[in-house]
Amino acid sequence: MRVGIHFANFTLQGPPDTLAQTLATTAKTAEDGGVSVFTLMDHWFQMEMLATSEDPMLEGYTSLGFLAGQTTTMTLGLLVTGVTYRHPGLLAKIVTTLDILSGGRAQLGIGAAWYEREHLGLGVPFPPLAERFERLEETLQICHQMWSDDNGPYKGTHYQLAETICSPPPISRPHPPVLIGGSGERKTLRFVARYGDACNLFAITPAGVAHKLEVLDRHCDAEGRDPATITRTILAMNNPLDDPDGFVASMAEYAELGIDIVEVMPIGDPVAFTTEFCERVVPDLAQLGP
């Protein structure tokens, strides 16, 4: 089982000018310790269930561009971009830029968006949920077209692009992997089967994740898609350092279900957490799976 670090909390000790060094050191520590994926949240306000909306939050793709220059091997992405945050043509160009500057290490993580307060706060339209899913599907289509040989127009219900030029193209082939976040059985997992290269689920329980994966497999059958071509990832919600052996044992159950990657969120000092996590947990997780 491969491992990711999800750096979600920028409320750290020290003034703002120390954030860059802390973020860079955490990423380098993770990479040196065997971590495969490094992700950030994509929010403008901090999530209220984690801290307060007034707590620090850095813009996601600017931060990933900074990390591209600090690391050499880890996949870099956002978990996940809200479809409402950036026009899809610009989003494809942003991810392409990250892919080129990182040497082919970008991942597009995307979902339907949910945090209404930050939209209202910064004056960004926040359409109803059904429309956000319509926009999500069109965005996925636009990104795929931008990363193809088709430079022609795109005409959708919500987005119309006269030209889908993306030059230079991404380094990743056939394109940066597309991870779709969320567990909705009717739309989200269907989009994974139709457009995605990876899914991300909350590690609620092994039984709950097993059910979601069964739904995904059914959507793959309907789409004529080989389920084995989709990377299956989870976000662990507990602190693995509270009980490292117990955490590895629980992850073994997910590995048996076919989970390829588990992401964990640093608690407290992110450098200290990542150092200990890489020393005490990562080697054991690497032994899980086929």
The single-letter DSSP state of residue 227 is G
Q: Give me the pLDDT at residue 242, please.
A: 96
pLDDT in tens, 119-140: 999 999 999 999 999 999 999 9
Inter-CA distances, 81 with 149, 192, 243, Å:
25, 15, 31
Q: Give me the pLDDT at residue 55, please.
A: 87
Q: Is the pLDDT at 109 greater than 90, yes or no?
A: yes
Separation between Cα atoms, residue 34 and residue 2, nearest integer Å = 9
Please check whether residue 67 is in contact with residue 38, taking contact to mean a CB–CB distance below 8 angstroms.
yes
Structure tokens belonging to residue 290: 């086929």
Separation between Cα atoms, residue 98 and residue 84, nearest integer Å = 20
Q: Is the pLDDT at 13 greater than 80, yes or no?
A: no
Q: Give me the pLDDT at residue 216, please.
A: 98
Question: Could you count the other beta carbons within 10 Å of the beta carbon of residue 169?
Answer: 16
Q: Break the chain down into helix, strand, coil percent, rounded to 5.
A: 40, 15, 45
Q: Give me the pLDDT at residue 56, please.
A: 87
Q: Is the pLDDT at 290 greater than 80, yes or no?
A: no
Is the peptide bond prior to 174 cis by the omega test (within 30 degrees of 0)? yes
Is 82 strand, coil or helix?
A: strand
pLDDT in tens, 225-272: 999 999 999 999 999 999 999 999 999 999 999 999 999 999 999 999
pLDDT in tens, 16-63: 888 999 999 999 999 999 999 999 999 999 988 888 888 889 999 999
Does this model's pTM top 0.85? My answer is yes
| % of the chain at pLDDT higher than 70 | 100
